[in-house]
Structure 1
């Protein structure tokens, strides 16, 4: 049984919100609370494993559980990337290349396993595991790419967000006006929403002298969490309404 959500506009809005929240919440833990990248990564990876196991053992799609796993991959991806790029001193470019290689390897193994990369056809625990590994490392890669665009490329936080946003728009146009595989375009868009969220999150939290709005990690995280919770509640309500006995007969 497929336990993943339908890919709609609401899905993409929630994905961007979750990735942006992952950036601000990850920075809140590692920097604002001064926990550090290594310890923060261990904490957040543990949260990811816990939520992932719960998701894998669930029998049906649960919006609350699904988005908790997405959020845990986003926050863990933030601190994992920062640990690689800053603590280990690999830098954004090298870190991005390593993560791209890992992500390509995951997709290659996924394809080689015989499982479908089409998220609407993920039906087995093995396929779902590949799905979540791809998401974890795409979110980690997205943080490194976002930081590279914002810091090393000279675009800044707002410029980086605009650049990624424009690239996502090109992918959307390609979906409707080209014959490029929709599966390929989905994963390209999925990866790109992460650096978009990363640069947007930094733009919201960083001080003006660094090109940000200085809303802070706490305030930004609370606002983003409120938006995401409201949308998850809406998704859960719609799912319950659709599965309620008698709804099919009345619709």
Structure 2
């Protein structure tokens, strides 16, 4: 076997329990951090989206240029996607006046289009196929749409649906538990379950983030958005430092050999 048959390097982490713990913390940080800029600093949703959009583009460019998996860079990029997702969802839902149903429907359509184009272009949307610049670009754009959709779903459930922050956390936590049960008890596509869980962790983070920083009369704990964001960031850094993460195993790129069977002559 020549050197062209080799395992490509992956720059995304293995999907383990630690991955999901950090993911939920990162999505919660995205909610508190995004609200800190748009609300506490009174910059508004549009300006906040522009600021975090620039951070997102810089982080993705750095992630694509990297030659191997860097935990801090990867999770910085995830946090960038979730903060820009928070401000974009709020801008779509509130500033554009289309409401939570309209915003969620639009974002769901964008997410499905991203996954469809990714699959049609590269043939797979699995995490273990993310080992080329093109796949990474699709991966991060899809994540950004999923984070934005998750924000809209979380706000919709907590506010419009009347579930409150506690009810929203129970709802999305229960849905995540069902996804985990399906993973261990069924043969449903692991790629489908991954993206379902990835989307659902965002509204869970959204309602938990709102629960931390919203006023007491609105059902929250009225914590400072700055202190809540700092605590969440410290927790994420501690997880990265204390627990080692490895890169996800990548699919093998193997040359295809076509062997021709010798022809037989019937006599």
TM-score w.r.t. structure 2 length?
0.87
Q: Pairwise mapping of residues 18-97 of structure 1 onto structure 2 (< 5 A)?
A: 18-97=26-105
Q: Is the Cα contact below 8 Å between 1:67 and 1:232 reproduced in 2?
A: no
Distance 2:133 2:229 in 1: 32
- For structure 2, the residue ranges without an aligned partner over 5 or more in a row are 1-8, 248-267
- Correspondence for 1:117: 125
- Correspondence for 1:244: none
Match for 2:225 among 206, 217, 229? 217
Match for 1:199 among 199, 207, 215? 207
- Correspondence for 1:187: 195
Deviations 1:89-109 (A, max 9, x none): 111110000000000000100
Distance 1:217 1:167 in 2: 27
- For structure 1, the residue ranges without an aligned partner over 5 or more in a row are 240-251
Number of aligned pairs? Answer: 239
Cα deviation for residue 214 of structure 1 reads 1.1
Distance 2:10 2:211 in 1: 36
- Correspondence for 1:153: 161
Structure with greater Cα Rg: 2
Cα deviation for residue 235 of structure 1 reads 4.6
Q: Pairwise mapping of residues 91-106 of structure 1 onto structure 2 (< 5 A)?
A: 91-106=99-114
Distance 1:235 1:109 in 2: 35
**More helix per residue: 1 or 2?**
1
RMSD (Å) for aligned C-alpha atoms: 1.3
Q: Is the Cα contact below 8 Å between 2:71 and 2:245 reproduced in 1?
A: no
- CA separation of 1:238 and 1:105: change in aligned 2, threshold 3 A: closer
Distance 1:40 1:234 in 2: 32
Distance 1:209 1:199 in 2: 16
Cα deviation for residue 151 of structure 1 reads 0.3
Match for 2:186 among 169, 178, 184? 178
Instruction: Say whether 1:134 aligns with 2:142.
Output: yes
- Correspondence for 2:258: none
Cα deviation for residue 237 of structure 1 reads 8.3
Q: Is the Cα contact below 8 Å between 1:115 and 1:122 reproduced in 2?
A: no
Instruction: Say whether 1:166 aligns with 2:207.
Output: no
Distance 2:245 2:49 in 1: 33
Distance 1:114 1:225 in 2: 34
Deviations 1:101-124 (A, max 9, x none): 000000100110134211022121
